[in-house]
Chains A and B, each alone.
Chain A
Amino acid sequence: MTVARIAIAGLTVGLVGLGLWYGLGQRTTSQNAPAIALLAAHERAGSASTAGGIRGASATKSRAKVAMSRAITPAVPTAVDYREAFRAATDYRSFVLGVLPAARSGDRDAQYYLYAALNYCDETYRFYFRPRGKALSLDEAIKDRSYYPGPSMTEAIKRAYLRCHEVNETKNPLWGTASEWLSKATDAGQPLAQMQTAGLIFLRPHVQGGIVAAESQTPTIQEGTYTDARSLVRAAVETKDPEALFDVAGLLGFLKPKEPNEQLIQDAITWQYVACLRGFDCGVNAEWHLQFCLNGSNCLPDETGVDYLRRMAPQKHIIDLEARASELNEKIDAGAWDELGLGG
């Protein structure tokens, strides 16, 4: 009798467990197909780079990692292309769920793109949907911005809503914060994370509070010096990652503080153009190009990012963009870092 009861109880537990497994699997498969694909790909690739999940880094340790991250060798191509997955993602909740396991297991690219997704959602949520602390729906946000002159923000608002409303409405503390993942990716030597961290270190003395402070909640940024920031930029540029090269343009004012403004602008266009030539996304819908066009730049319909740069060059008194790009490319290919004038 007792044996029969145990058998029945065991069978019941087993059936319930099977049902739960099947039900959850169906739900996950239907809602998070891209996430599952990323997860499976990550499992195939094995856990890349450094191991270790979420861990609190002390200020001292993190500071020391600025130097350590510089010594880490250039990014080894991983089997999972998180950059492309991030670019193609239209629902960042699925993307976040998909990269989370790899990020937790120490994949630095997964960590960086997890940061990128969470940060984009934080920033656009605050910018479009919580201005002056007021909660706005999608329609209200579009209406709110329609009163202002200049380029229309409607498409940007819709894009942000589509990507992020599920992230912002169902945010799970277990996902971690954007700052935490930026810190881990930077410590692990991810070049785009290094560039982002360097930029926030450069800005820190100039800005108190606001969006910059909100994005600077890491010991590396809080305690980093300009010398640290230059080291991070140098390490990122040495990887020759096209997106990191593009990001150099945004930091030239700090990297070359004594250069005249006109020269800085010309250098910036050259770095951006080189990044495009080396494979950075400079299409019509490249995120950077869309943002440029939202802020008063004279963009033309259906113009690509690279065409925009070519059109801008003569306006900035650059008549030899191709020659400048060729010269910069040669220095990058040759690893002539000291000739780039970036310090570090």
Chain B
Amino acid sequence: MIILVGLLRAAPPAITNAGEKIGQVNQEQRPFRWSRVLVCSTCETPIDFRNAAITANYTDQLPVTYVVVGDSTGMSSYVQVSGYWFYDPYSYNQYWTVNYAMPVDQNGLALSSDLPTAQAQMSVVDVGLFGFTRGPNSPKVATVQMPPDYDGSFIGSADEFDSPGIGRALALLGVDPSDFPVGSKLLVTYADGTKAVFQKVSMTSSYQSAWDGIHAWNANGQPIDRSGNVLANSNTYGGASGSTTYEETLDGAGAAAALWFIYENEQCTTTTNLSINGVPDASFSGYVPC
């Protein structure tokens, strides 16, 4: 309780409240059924992201899973927040009191208590939202098209062929694969419109790139596994609609990205458009937990 009070009294991060409340509430049945987007210009640590969500929740006054997007760090986090109405017998007023706020990853698991590890986890969440790395060390070429000689679809594909296929795709672009340090991410698009995020895992082994095992989408933007099965959102409920827009300038390339969240038909979708020096470069859409 002492810790919680400390958090609530902490100076709130600078937040651009770009969210829009949507849907109806039934707190008893579904504690985290609302999704709301926050943009936080100063968030760098899990505590920053949590404080941003807590601050917003005193306005929302209901259980929410927030999607807190870091402004320029290439990190985002889901934050589950809930609370209760405290009845003050002296003033006869009720006050919303937050009693739970947990930054979590795309699987709903709590972030690591080790800061650098947590920041890596938040960068993975960010890739799920934007479809490419937004961090300061984002590679120059973040999206590649799998060459036609290789797998034509992510569905049924295998790293044994995708890894050299990515090497070939980069070579065709005139890019040296060694320009991508281990840890770099690549959004690979296939001829049938499926997409997947690959990770550079080694400079010197047979497998140089491998699917990250987390992010893949069918041609409609729905999350899928490697067999093509559509994965259910981890927290779907609703039936309302709404949207919010987020825009920022990316580091380095003079690029700009915009992210739209559209909540309808019990699912949240995102659309990201990337332009470099004003020229449209890539478009990405996907579904997120909400």
Residues of A within 8 A of B (CB): 123-124, 126-128, 131-132, 147-150, 153, 156, 199, 202-203, 205-213, 225-228, 230, 249-254, 257-261, 264-265, 268, 287-288, 291-292, 294-298, 312, 315-316
**Binary interface profile of B, 3-14, with partner A (CB < 8 Å = 1, else 0)?**
000000000000
Chain B, residues 172-206, CB within 8 Å of chain A (1/0): the string is: 00001111011111000000000000010111111
| Cβ of A292 to closest chain B Cβ, rounded Å | 7
| A225 in complex: contacting residue of B117, B139, B163, CB < 8 Å | B117
**Residues of chain A lying within 8 A (CB to CB) of residue B185:** 206
Contact between B207 and A211, CB atoms less than 8 A apart: yes
The verdict on A132 contacting B137 (CB below 8 Å), with A123-B207, A254-B183, A297-B176 known, is no
Within 8 A of A (CB), among B102-150: 112, 114-117, 119-121, 123-124, 135-140, 147, 149-150
- A210 lies within 8 A of B159 (CB): yes
Known: A253-B181, A295-B164, A296-B171. 11 other contacts (CB 8 A): A131-B158, A148-B161, A148-B168, A203-B182, A205-B112, A207-B210, A210-B210, A253-B182, A264-B137, A296-B177, A312-B176
Residues on the B chain within 8 Å of A265, using CB: 178-179, 181
Within the assembled complex, what's the spacing in Å between the Cα atoms of A226 and B165? 30
Evaluate contact between B208 and A261: CB separation under 8 angstroms.
no
B60 within 8 A of A: no
Q: How far is the CA of A228 from the CA of B120 in the complex (A)?
A: 14
Residues of A contacting B266 in the complex (Cβ-Cβ under 8 angstroms): none
The CA of A291 and the CA of B164, in the complex, are separated in Å by 11
B214 at interface by CB-CB < 8 Å? yes
Residues of chain B at interface, number, CB under 8 A = 55
Known: A203-B199, A288-B204, A297-B177. A148 touches B150 (CB 8 A): yes
Could you say which residues of chain A place their CB within 8 Å of the CB of B201?
203, 207, 211-212
B114 to chain A, nearest CB (A): 3
A227 and B116 contact, Cβ closer than 8 Å, known pairs A131-B161, A207-B210, A315-B176:
yes
Q: Kindly state whether residue B213 has any CB partner on chain A within 8 Å.
A: yes
A265 to B124, CA, bound (A): 22
A209 to B139, CA, bound (A): 24
12 A-B residue pairs with CB within 8 Å = A202-B120, A207-B201, A211-B201, A225-B116, A228-B114, A253-B182, A258-B136, A260-B137, A261-B179, A261-B252, A268-B181, A291-B203
Q: A205-B124, A227-B116 are in contact. Are A250 and B204 (CB under 8 A)?
A: yes
B213 contact set on A, CB distance < 8 A: 207-210, 213
Shortest distance between the CB of B119 and any CB in chain A (Å): 8
CB-CB nearest 3 A-B residue pairs? A226-B116, A225-B114, A253-B181
Tell me the smallest distance from the CB of B180 to a CB of chain A, in Å.
8
A249 with B184, Cβ < 8 A, contacts A148-B149, A261-B179, A296-B167 known: no
**Least CB separation from A224: chain B residue:** B117
Contact A128 B177 (CB under 8 A): no
Q: Would you give the shortest CB distance from B267 to chain A, in whole angstroms?
A: 23
Contacts of A123 in B (CB 8 A): 205-207
* B37 close to chain A: CB less than 8 A: no
Distance to closest chain B CB from A215 (angstroms): 9
Complex Cα gap A249–B183 (Å): 12
A260→B159 CA distance, assembly (Å): 28
B149 touches A259 (CB 8 A): no
Task: Compute how far the CA of A264 lies from the CA of B135 in the bound complex, rounded to whole angstroms.
Answer: 14
- B residues in contact with A294, CB < 8 Å: 164, 167
Contacts A225-B117, A250-B182, A259-B137 hold; do A150 and B164 have CB atoms under 8 A apart? Answer: yes
Bound-state Cα–Cα, A288 to B117, Å: 28
Residues of A contacting B112 with CB < 8 Å? 205, 225
Chain B contacts of A131 at CB under 8 A? 158, 160-161
